């Protein structure tokens, strides 16, 4: 037990990888075994993720579960892991979404073994990037997670898969290589011969250099989120990826961009971040309104949800950059909501597209009559997405808007209008496809959700309500982290960064 | 009679690995006479050559950490030379292993093939340890002549012959440049010895910008830039790589490049260090056009071997960035890059040798039908694109970090942009390997292919994940050289 808690993060990172390697030992046609073993590893990691969640103490040090070893000594790269509340939550959410994706992908027909291998591989990369406290270690995991995504989209995606996957990969890679140059510059400026992020928080970098370095980091993360004007890869990629790929991209990988702002861009370059805040606020507000308007006219359901995801993320980024307590808390809470809700919506769409080939809204009507359970679940996820009180979306948006309002009323007004538009596009889509008469013959044969689908959707539905009704239980764990984050950015020094080294 | 006293002479030990290789090369030649014309499933000549590599390696190991100069400072054995001898043996060994099935299948199973590889390896090893311009030239010719023959080895294939002739004519031309440069340097300084050239330049600063000397240096640089195939001296590269047998293309892309860089660096670090501020700008220019030239033309290739040829040009461009920086860190980064590059590039060419087809259309679906070849190609392609945790990433990381340390911000940004461009064509190989449908090839590859590829994969991953000891060794040996 001691070993597990002392090396919990390492195990969380490498258990899925071990699972992926185990899968290589299976025969090509042994699909049943592959599914079982992959899901087993997914669930083991989910259990470890829950252990991490329950063992993280909201009153203790900010960074817990710290592991630190020399790795490549001659280059100053360390194997340095540790989580604060934000990365802890995101890791737990990642383990949950991956486990669900694994179960949700049981209907995959071709190259089953490789498919599950890729999903487990993504999980390793994401958890590694979230847990790393060494810049290079982070960068390595950040790049590694692209490899399985590349194959997930390329092999199992839809008709434009090759175009989408190359576009996704090159776009992301172009962003991150520029960040790499910034990482080198930081390293030599720091002069301490290591890449420790927490140590770098205390650097005082001249303002002119800060601006350039900030931009380099900002672009890499903005591409990943994605923010306008770096979003052009996103709709194609989300739409053409297989269901699990879309869920991982939307629910998990997009958070990596926001996490990047939170962990690197803001605390490392506070002055530059402050100066760029008006620009970023403009970009995010434009995104909220413009993307919501685009979403309204979409004919393709998956594309519509993809755009809605971008709009929601833009508000999260805005809340984070304005640096008010509620805004940051709301951003963190809404990140978790976004994972659960967007994940749920894409999973539900996946269930529908497994039964019927069309993704067009016009091909469906009256689904609520034919698939009542499915329609209920979709309704709950959708209402959480628009922020109905009682669901988690309400708490997150409420906090965010208080935070934005405190910083700037003008921003708050525009951001709120985005929410109204958000309600329009998603409710309208729901009305067109789920209500009305059940006309098409092929839609009359659609079966409702089966036990497996019900089984993997129900945890998300429960979470929507639990997080909406008992938000305090979740928020109190990240109080310390929020305070120390805001202090770090505002003072330029990691004053209250306490590291638990036991 | 062999005089054992001379053998035991501590000076002869300096070239003992080369002597062993030469002996084995001759044994392969003789053995080749007996096996010629017989139907065989196993490459007997290849096995002898591999034993030669192993023996050479065994006599090399005890020389670790020694620092001896021999034959009137013609050759030296220092940490730098030791490193390049190890690299050469690894490259030659991997080439031979990946050739063993290839030669049997393609009717190239001749003693000469393996003997020439060993002779070329001897030339490469000598190039790294020469400390005299004439010795460098002799070693370079020894390597080059062997490679010309190897490039033409598929002598019934027009492409192979055409490439070899192009290579030979241009190579002879560049050798003339190199030799003329050496003569001019001799005229300017009165010596061929690298250390003494340095001393002369140091003692007589008034002759430092003597036109004869400057011209000589420029011509020497041109000769080396040709061998490492930088733009605009790259025209031969794609044709030769495409025509030559696949394992030999890998051998040329890595071995010749490593040896040329070894001599290039040694000459410029030991003798011409004073001129660094003068030539840095010129080399930077070559680096930029080489990176962009190589990468942009590679984007348009449909033949994987040609694509890899242009990619090898681009990689030479990255390494030139290290020469521009010319610090202790950047020089050791070049050496590390060469080592890592050797594993991934030979690996990629051996996958092609195993498949036996070179165009993108022909390899579609191979990755899914033959998982081992697929994984191997993934490792090599992602490594070349500079994706962690493969050595390609760490090599670039180290090299570009050194460049930033030398305040070459603009050059580094251009280099990483190139790195992102290159991802496109490396990934396109994997697009065909995995995304384009079923393969209709039926391949039979044997244990030697699997073994060679496994070694290359292990090298790529080991150097990418645990490079610490290699890097600190390189830093020491470079410090010694400077």
Decide if B437 touches A, using CB distance below 8 A: no
Report the share of chain A in percent with pLDDT over 70. Answer: 98
pLDDT given for residue B298 in this prediction: 95
CB contact under 8 Å between B397 and A136, yes or no, is yes
> Which class for A3: exposed (0-12), middle (13-18), buried (19 or more C-beta within 10 A)?
exposed
Beta-bridge mates of residue B69: B76
- Identify whether the C-beta of residue B382 lies closer than 8 Å to the C-beta of residue A147: yes
Å between B468 CA and nearest CA of chain A: 5
B427 has a chain A CB within 8 A of its CB: yes
User: How far is residue A357's CA from residue A299's CA, in Å, rounded to a whole number?
Assistant: 15
Judged against a pLDDT cut of 70, whether residue A327 lies above it is answered with yes
What is the chain A residue with the closest CA to B371?
A24
Q: How many residues does chain A have?
A: 502
Partner-chain contact A74 B471, CB within 8 Å = yes
Q: Which of helix, strand or coil describes residue A66? A: strand
Helices A301-322, A270-296: inter-axial angle, 10-degree rounding:
150
Residue contact B400–A184, C-beta within 8 A: yes
- Shortest CA distance from B422: residue in chain A: A170
Question: B72: exposed, middle or buried (C-beta count within 10 Å: 0-12, 13-18, 19+)?
Answer: exposed
Residue B7: its pLDDT value, please?
A: 55
- Considering CB atoms only, which of A24, A75, A136 is closest to B471? A75
pLDDT in tens, A52-85: 999 988 887 888 899 999 998 888 999 999 999 9
Q: How far apart are CA B424 and CA A168, in angstroms?
A: 11
- Two tokens at B19? 């002597």
**pLDDT exceeds 90 at position A480:** no
Q: How confident is the model at residue A502 (pLDDT cuts 50, 70, 90)?
A: very low
Tokens, residue A54: 């329950």
Mean pLDDT by runs of 10 across the 482 residues of chain B is 58 90 95 80 88 95 88 90 96 94 86 94 95 95 95 89 93 94 94 93 89 94 93 91 94 95 94 90 96 95 94 96 93 96 96 91 90 94 93 95 93 94 93 88 87 96 93 90 78
| Cβ-Cβ contacts under 8 Å, B383 against chain A | none
3-state helix, strand, coil in chain B (%, to 5): 80, 0, 20
Does B412 contact chain A (CB < 8 Å)?
yes
Residue A173, by phi and psi: left (phi above 0), alpha (psi -120 to 50) or beta?
alpha
CA distance to partner chain B, nearest, from residue A24 (Å): 9
B468 contact residues in A (CB cutoff 8 A):
71-75
Determine the Cα–Cα distance for residues B438 and B348; give it in Å rounded to an integer.
21
Note the pLDDT of residue B28. 94
Q: Do residues B157 and B107 touch, judged by C-beta distance below 8 A?
A: no
Q: What's residue B208's pLDDT?
A: 86
Say what the pLDDT of residue B8 is: 57
* Cβ–Cβ gap A75/B401 under 8 Å: yes
CB contact under 8 A, A155 and B389: no
Angle among Cα A115, A116, A119 to the nearest 5 degrees reads 95
CB within 8 Å of A341: residues ≥ 6 apart = A381, A384, A385, A392, A393, A464
CA A339 to chain centre: 6
Least CB–CB distance from A185: residue in B398, B404, B436: B404
Q: Kindly determine whether residue A184 and residue B393, on different chains, have CB atoms separated by under 8 Å.
A: no
- A311: nearest Cα among A397, A435, A373: A397
Q: Are B361 and B321 in contact (CB under 8 A)?
A: no
Work out the pLDDT band at A357, boundaries 50, 70, 90: confident
Token pair, residue A454, equals 């019900």
φ, ψ (nearest 5 deg) of residue A85: -60, -35
pLDDT for A438 equals 83
Would you call B435 and A161 a contact, using CB atoms and an 8 Å cutoff? yes
Interchain pair B388, A144: CB under 8 A:
yes
Q: How many CB atoms lie within 10 A of CB A491?
A: 12
Determine the pLDDT at residue A228: 83
Q: Which residues of A39-67 are buried (b: 16+ CB within 10 A; e: fewer)?
A: bebbebbbebbebbbeebeeeebbbbbbb
Rounded to an integer, what distance in angstroms lies between the CA atom of residue B91 and that of residue B362? 27
Query: In angstroms, what CA-CA distances link B68 with A156, B77, B87, B199?
Result: 59, 5, 20, 20
Q: Six-digit token pair at B2?
A: 């062999």
Q: Which residues of B touch A172 (CB under 8 A)?
A: none
Average pLDDT in chain A: 90
| pLDDT value of residue B9 | 65
pLDDT of residue B72: 85
Residue A444 maps to a domain = yes
- Is A51 inside a domain boundary? no
On whether the CB atoms of residues A358 and A299 are closer than 8 A, the answer is no
Distance from CA of B97 to the nearest CA of A (A): 26
User: Given CB atoms, is B416 within the 8 Å cutoff of chain A?
Assistant: yes
Nearest to A170 among B394, B423, B468 (CB): B423
Whether B435 has its CB under 8 Å from any CB of chain A: the answer is yes
| Residue A335 contacts residue A417 (beta carbons within 8 Å) | no
Neighbours of A441 (CB within 10 A): 7
Q: Does B472 touch chain A (CB under 8 A)?
A: yes
Mutate to test the interface with B, among A75, A158, A165 (most CBs of B within 10 A): A75
The single residue listed with the structure tokens 């060679």 is: B452
Domain limits for position A420: 271-493
A255 within 8 A of A320, measured Cβ to Cβ: no
Whether residues B368 and A111 touch (CB distance < 8 A) is answered with yes
Residues of B in contact with A195 (CB under 8 A): none
- In chain B, what are the domain boundaries? 285-482
Residue A84 to chain B, least CA–CA distance (Å): 25
Q: How far apart are the C-alpha atoms of A201 and A190, rounded to whole Å?
A: 10
Give the burial class of A374: count Cβ atoms within 10 A of its Cβ; 0-12 exposed, 13-18 middle, 19 or more buried: buried
Asked if B389 reaches chain A (Cβ–Cβ under 8 Å), the answer is: yes
Hey, how many other C-beta atoms are within 10 angstroms of the C-beta on A463? 21
- Enumerate chain A positions whose Cβ falls within 8 A of a Cβ in B: 24, 71-75, 111, 114, 136, 139-140, 143-144, 146-147, 150-151, 154-155, 161-162, 165-166, 169-170, 173-174, 177-178, 180-181, 184-185, 187-188
Query: Model confidence over A145-199: pLDDT tens digits?
Result: 999 999 999 999 888 889 999 999 988 988 899 999 999 999 999 888 889 998 8
Which chain A positions have a beta carbon within 8 Å of B417's beta carbon? 174, 177-178
Burial (0-12, 13-18, 19+ Cβ within 10 Å), A389: exposed
Look at residue A120 and tell me if it is in a domain. Answer: no
- Asked if A178's CB is within 8 angstroms of B368's CB, the reply is no
- The CA-based angle A184-A189-A192, given to 5 degrees, is 95
Residue count (chain B) = 482
- Separation of alpha carbons B70 and B53, rounded Å: 23
Whole-angstrom CA distances from B114 to A256, A268, B47, B256 are: 52, 56, 9, 16
- Number of domains into which chain A is organized: 1
Q: Which residues contact B147 (CB under 8 A, 6 or more apart)?
A: B116, B120, B167, B248, B251, B252, B256
Q: Find, in chain B, the residue whose alpha carbon is nearest to that of A216.
A: B413
Structure tokens given for A188: 């030599």
Whether residue A74 and residue B468 make contact (CB cut-off 8 A), yes or no, is yes
Residue of B476, B206, B188 lying closest to B196 (CA atoms) = B188
Any domain includes A471: yes
Q: Which residues of A touch B413 (CB under 8 A)?
A: 178, 181
Name the DSSP letter for residue B362.
G
């Amino acid at each position: 037990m001691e070993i597990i808690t002392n090396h919990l993060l390492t195990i969380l990172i490498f258990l899925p990888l071990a699972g992926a390697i185990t899968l290589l030992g299976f025969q090509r046609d042994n699909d049943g075994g592959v599914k079982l073993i992959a899901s087993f590893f997914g669930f083991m990691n989910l259990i470890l993720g829950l252990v991490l969640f329950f063992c993280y103490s909201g009153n203790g040090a900010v960074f817990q579960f710290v592991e630190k070893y020399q790795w490549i000594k001659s280059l100053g790269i360390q194997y340095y892991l540790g989580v604060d509340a934000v990365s802890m939550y995101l890791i737990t959410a990642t383990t949950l979404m991956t486990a669900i994706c694994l179960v949700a992908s049981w209907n995959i027909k071709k190259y089953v073994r490789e498919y599950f291998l890729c999903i487990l591989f993504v999980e390793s990369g994401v958890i590694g990037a979230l847990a790393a406290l060494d810049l290079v270690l982070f960068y390595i995991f950040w790049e590694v997670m692209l490899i399985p995504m590349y194959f997930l989209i390329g092999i199992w995606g839809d008709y434009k898969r090759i175009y989408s996957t190359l576009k996704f990969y090159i776009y992301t890679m172009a962003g991150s290589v520029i960040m790499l140059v910034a990482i080198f510059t930081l390293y030599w400026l720091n002069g301490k011969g290591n890449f420790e992020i927490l140590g770098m928080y205390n650097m005082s970098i001249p303002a002119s250099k800060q601006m350039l370095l900030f931009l380099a980091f900002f672009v890499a993360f903005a591409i990943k989120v994605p923010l306008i004007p770096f979003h052009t890869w996103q709709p194609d990629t989300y739409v053409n990826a297989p269901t699990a790929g879309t869920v991982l991209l939307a629910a998990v990988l997009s958070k990596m961009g926001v996490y990047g702002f939170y962990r690197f861009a803001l605390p490392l370059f506070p002055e530059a971040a402050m100066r760029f805040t008006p620009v970023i606020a403009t970009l995010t507000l434009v995104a909220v309104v413009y993307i919501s308007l685009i979403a309204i006219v979409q004919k393709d359901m998956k594309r519509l949800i993809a755009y809605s995801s971008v709009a929601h993320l833009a508000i999260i980024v805005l809340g984070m950059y304005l640096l008010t307590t509620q805004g940051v808390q709301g951003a963190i809470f809404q990140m978790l909501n976004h994972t659960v809700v967007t994940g749920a919506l894409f999973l539900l769409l996946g269930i529908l597209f497994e039964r019927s080939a069309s993704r067009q809204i016009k091909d469906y009507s009256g689904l609520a009559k034919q698939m009542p359970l499915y329609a209920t679940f979709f309704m709950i996820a959708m209402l959480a997405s628009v922020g109905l009180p009682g669901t988690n979306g309400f708490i997150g948006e409420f906090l965010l808007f208080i935070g934005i309002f405190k910083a700037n009323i003008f921003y708050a007004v525009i951001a709120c209008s985005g929410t109204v538009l958000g309600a329009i596009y998603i409710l309208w889509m729901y009305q067109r496809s789920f209500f009305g008469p059940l006309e098409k013959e092929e839609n009359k044969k659609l079966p409702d959700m089966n036990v497996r689908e019900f089984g993997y959707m129900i945890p998300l539905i429960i979470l929507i309500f639990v997080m909406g009704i008992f938000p305090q239980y979740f928020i109190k764990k990240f109080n310390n982290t929020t305070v120390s984050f805001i202090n770090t950015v505002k003072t330029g020094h990691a004053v209250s960064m306490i590291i638990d080294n036991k | 009679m062999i005089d054992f006293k001379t053998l035991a002479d501590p000076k002869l030990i300096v070239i003992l690995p080369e002597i062993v290789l030469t002996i084995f090369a001759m044994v392969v030649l003789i053995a080749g006479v007996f096996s010629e014309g017989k139907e065989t499933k196993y490459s007997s000549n290849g096995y002898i050559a591999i034993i030669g590599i192993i023996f050479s390696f065994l006599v090399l190991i005890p020389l670790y950490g020694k620092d001896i100069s021999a034959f009137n400072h013609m050759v030296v054995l220092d940490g730098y030379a030791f490193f390049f001898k190890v690299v050469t043996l690894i490259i030659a060994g991997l080439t031979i292993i990946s050739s063993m099935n290839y030669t049997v299948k393609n009717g190239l199973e001749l003693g000469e093939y393996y003997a020439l590889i060993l002779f070329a390896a001897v030339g490469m090893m000598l190039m790294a340890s020469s400390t005299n311009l004439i010795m460098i030239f002799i070693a370079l010719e020894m390597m080059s002549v062997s490679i010309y023959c190897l490039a033409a080895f598929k002598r019934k294939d027009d492409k192979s012959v055409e490439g070899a002739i192009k290579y030979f004519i241009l190579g002879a031309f560049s050798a003339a440049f190199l030799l003329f440069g050496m003569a001019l340097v001799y005229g300017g300084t009165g010596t061929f010895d690298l250390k003494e050239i340095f001393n002369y330049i140091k003692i007589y600063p008034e002759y430092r910008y003597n036109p004869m000397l400057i011209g000589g240096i420029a011509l020497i640089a041109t000769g080396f830039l040709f061998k490492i195939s930088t733009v605009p001296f790259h025209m031969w590269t794609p044709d030769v790589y495409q025509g030559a047998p696949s394992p030999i293309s890998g051998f040329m892309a890595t071995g010749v490049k490593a040896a040329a860089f070894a001599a290039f660096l040694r000459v410029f670090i030991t003798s011409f260090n004073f001129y660094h501020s003068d030539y840095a700008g010129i080399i930077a220019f070559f680096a930029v056009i080489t990176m962009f030239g190589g990468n942009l033309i590679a984007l348009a290739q449909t033949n994987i071997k040609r694509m890899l040829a242009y990619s090898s040009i681009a990689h030479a461009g990255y390494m030139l960035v290290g020469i521009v920086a010319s610090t202790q860190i950047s020089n050791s980064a070049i050496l590390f890059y060469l080592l890592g590059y050797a594993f991934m590039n030979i690996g990629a060419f051996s996958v092609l040798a195993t498949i036996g087809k070179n165009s993108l259309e022909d390899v579609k679906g191979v990755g899914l039908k033959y998982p081992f070849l697929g994984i191997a190609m993934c490792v090599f392609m992602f490594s070349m694109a500079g994706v962690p945790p493969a050595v390609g990433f760490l090599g670039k990381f180290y090299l570009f970090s050194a460049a930033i340390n030398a305040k070459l911000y603009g050059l580094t940004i251009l280099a990483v942009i190139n790195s992102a461009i290159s991802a496109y064509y490396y990934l396109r190989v994997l697009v065909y390997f995995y995304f384009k449908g079923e393969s209709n090839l039926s391949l039979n590859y044997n244990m030697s292919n699997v073994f060679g590829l496994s070694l290359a994969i292990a090298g790529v991953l080991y150097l990418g994940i645990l490079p610490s000891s290699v890097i600190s060794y390189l830093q020491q040996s470079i410090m010694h050289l400077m």
